[in-house]
Amino acid sequence: MKWVLLFILVFAGVSGCQSFRYYDPNKAHHGENQFLNNYDNSPKDGFWKWQWERLTSSRPPEPPFHPEIVKTDTQFLQGNRQESTLTWIGHSTSLIQLSGVNILMDPVFSDRVSPVSFMGPKRLVPLPFEISDLPAIDVVLVSHSHYDHLDLPTLRALAQRNSQTLFLVPLGNEALLKSQGIKNVKEMDWWDETKVKDLTVVLTPAQHWSQRSLFDHNKSLWGGWYVKTSRLHVFYSGDTGYSRDFQDIRIKLGEVDVALLPVGTYEPRWFMKKQHVNPEEAVQIHEDLKAKLSIGVHWGTFRLSDEAMSLPPVDLQKALEAKNLDARVFRLLKHGEILKLKNYERVYAEVPH
Ligand SMILES: [Zn+2]
């Protein structure tokens, strides 16, 4: 009996002392037990209150939502190593082709964004194409551990398809990917840089959080990705509430040419505001970055919040009108649409003839 007690005491002591392996008193966002935001770490409780409200209150019927899906010219994408392009695949999943490098952001090709395959938010708009239709992917960028951004079945399929693909993830996510047999993984801290051919890829701060299970709240880092070439600066914010982080990013890394910013999952505001911007705040981020063009993502694919599926385009238009901004500076793409980015490049090909 004594031995059992001793064992329990020792075990409890050991587990109690187990420190957060990323804790670093010199880095404000590396807390003693978890990662922290730069500007707002006030508790974002209210999840159960929100769920109760959803159960007990009746919401007005939604307008129908049947967005047009473009038949993506995947043959063009497969052969293209010259032109800079952006393809919106749905939700936050986007393909960027820059300087001959193919980058996939937060790839989710599963039907549900959930810990289990049989329940949880279901894809409401079909995929424009399958993983097998993608061009060879050089680098996959994952913004954080939430299921609608870090989709293990998709990541496994991408690694099996091409063992050369490099997976870049925020700190605390590398072990999860390696446990799935994905070998070419590198985890990064905010402001860390990785070179991929001619690209510089930087992980940037965001106002968000992470969790995949009951016990891993904020144990992995979250963020956005800033991808630089001499011709184009492309920025993807990941999920975020509004914060000064975006002014910091512009000051540190320069003005953005093309930004991918979230415009969905924002109601009810009392619960969502700290973690998800609404279109009005997304437009403010667009201005903070001095972006030439922003494209709205994180909408129109899965139902994750209370606003109608068709509302983000309406609210985005209102937000642009309120600031007298041309609708062309902050656009939404159709699922599967390819946008060529030449007009947003800094230096045009000035090759002497
Ligand atoms: Zn998230």
The rounded mean pLDDT for the chain is 91
Query: What does the pLDDT read at residue 347?
Result: 73
What residues pack around ion ligand 1 (CB closer than 5 A)? 146, 239
* pLDDT at position 227: 98
What pLDDT, on the 0 to 100 scale, is given for residue 245? 98
SS3 state of residue 49: helix
Identify the pLDDT of residue 45.
73
Residue 266 CA to ligand 1 centre (angstroms): 12
Task: Measure 216 CA to ligand 1 centroid, in angstroms.
Answer: 14
Question: pLDDT at position 26, please?
Answer: 96
- Rounded-to-integer distance, Cα 58 and Cα 287, Å: 37
pLDDT of residue 5: 41
User: What ranges do the domains of the chain cover?
Assistant: 74-344
Give the integer Cα–Cα distance in Å for 263 and 301: 12
Q: Which amino acid is at 90?
A: G
- pTM listed for this prediction: 0.91
Gap from CA of 208 to ligand 1 centroid (Å): 7
Residue 86: which H helix or E strand, with range? strand 85-90
Domain 74-344 has CATH 3.60.15.10: yes
Please give the Cα distance from 205 to 286 (Å, whole number).
16
Q: What is the pLDDT of residue 13?
A: 38
State the maximum Cα–Cα separation within the chain, in Å, rounded to a whole number.
89
Q: How far is the CA of 165 from the centre of ligand 1 (A)?
A: 24
In which residue ranges of the chain is pLDDT below 70? 1-18, 348-353
How far apart CA 298 and CA 218 sit, in angstroms, is: 21
